[in-house]
Amino acid sequence: MSLNPPDTTAGLTGKIESREMRIGIIGMGYVGLPLALQFSKERFAITGFDIDTQKVETLNRGESYIIRIPGAEVQGALKNGFTATADYSRISEMDVVIICVPTPLNDCREPDLSFVTGTVTAMAPYVREGQLIILESTTYPGTTEEIVVPLLEQGNPAQLRVGRDAGSRGFFVAFSPEREDPGNDTVERRDIPKIIGACGPVALTLASAVYATIFNRTIPVSTPATAEMTKLLENIYRCVNIALVNELKQLCMLMGIDIWEVIEAAKTKPFGFQAFYPGPGLGGHCIPIDPFYLSWRAKQFEFPVHFIELAGEINSAMPQFVVDHVSQALEQRGKGLQEARVLILGLSYKRDIDDLRESPSLTVIDLLQKRGAHVEYNDPFFASVGAGRKYSLNMTSTPLEKIAEFDCVVIVTDHSQYDYPSIVKQAQLVVDTRNATKGITADNLVRC
């Protein structure tokens, strides 16, 4: 059953056509679980690996812990042979292993690859000849060949090496960055082109064949580092442009100009302009993090990336900008921020999703609390929130019926479930960071 070179390509093709290819996906989070379900819909028997035993148990019961993924999808996958496990020894049963684990920043805003290195070290003893290993986690150029490959080779008791050419007898390695956009219902996942870079032509052929079963188009590139840089470019492009409109927003406020009206007018140009929008800060796993991954890597080449670092700094400063305006708005009404009751609307990092990763709401809450405010939140996707990697809220969602009791309501995430005219009517003061109250005029409404 192994993908044994030199007939690896033909063997895998046969397994794809017969749906006998066994795929293991490590990391059952916002990237790994949707990917597992996508392969399962093509009738592949998928094994999901995760060190979180609670996630494993939940999935094996046919339940989901991600709101945008209904339990029925997990149940359908179970019928197609999907199973979840925390047992890494089962890696040896897989033909293909795809790694989808987090790559956050540490407290010094440097790459934290501990999830990747920990995963690769744990799986290395069970890697076998002919397997295809694919990393999907966003990272800096060089990670796949400089970190993942050596760890797999050093940790393999059979002393297998990465196979790079036809006839190679070892395992194969590729990098294919995830392109998830939670909450986006306008683009089908299979219509998102799949970038693939690999350690040699055999691995590239194998990875392309695997992904072609669930994506309508695969985009092969010359090396893993090229694919790694492609992912960073995509997100840094967004980061830089969002930083631009965030800075312009602050200038427009001083000049008495509505930045939202400016953007709407500018985007009527049919060429040379793409609309980006300001906000309270960046969230999600990629856009707030990727600029710092690249700037850290660039330092190793003694190349300063001033432009990219500045964009990251502007976006990182936006939560403080919001808090300052909340303070100013309260002071204008004779109320100090210290001891003020503030209600945050929306915890997730963007509209209509249940994802707290790098959410600016968490930073806004932390900054408000440090300045003495009594802070509560409301979010239709989070009845309660405890502790995470960067926060420890231990709070429950406050009912909207209590809005009038707060000195200030801050719209940080503009969920579509909110009735904004009603919120403005009930609240003593509203600070809107998302232009969610567009078209509403009220004395108690401040936009920032």
Active site residues: 286
Q: How far apart are CA 424 and CA 444, in angstroms?
A: 7
Return the pLDDT at 8. Answer: 59
d(CA 145, CA 139): 12
Phi-psi region of 299 (alpha: psi -120 to 50; beta: other; left: phi over 0): alpha
Same fold for the domain at 232-314 and the one at 317-447? no
Angle, helices 224-255/259-266, rounded to nearest 10 degrees: 130
What is the assigned CATH class of domain 8-222? alpha beta
Closest CA to 97 of 35, 185, 181: 35
For residue 31, report the phi and psi dihedrals to the nearest 5 degrees.
-105, -50
429 within 8 A of 341, measured Cβ to Cβ? no
pLDDT of residue 10: 66
Q: Which two tokens stand for residue 177?
A: 């960055």
Mean per-residue pLDDT over the chain, rounded:
93
Q: Tens digit of pLDDT for each residue in 314-352?
A: 999 999 999 999 999 999 999 999 989 999 999 999 999
- For residue 1, the model assigns a pLDDT of 37
Write down the pTM of the prediction: 0.91
Give pLDDT, residue 112: 93
* Burial profile 292-307: b = 16 or more Cβ within 10 angstroms, e = fewer: bbbbbbbeeeeeebee
The CATH class of 317-447 is alpha beta
Handedness of CA 311, 313, 314, 319 (dihedral sign): positive
Distance of CA 282 to the CA centre of its chain: 11
Tokens 């709070």 identify what position?
395
CATH code of the domain occupying 232-314: 1.10.1040.10
Query: What does the pLDDT read at residue 234?
Result: 94
Low-confidence ranges of the chain (pLDDT < 50): 1-6
The domain locations on the chain are 8-222, 232-314, 317-447
Contact criterion met (CB below 8 Å) for 162 and 199: yes
318, 360 Cβ separation under 8 angstroms: yes
pLDDT score at 6: 45
For position 285, what pLDDT does the model report? Answer: 67
Contacts (Cβ under 8 Å, ≥6 apart) of 38:
189, 190, 214
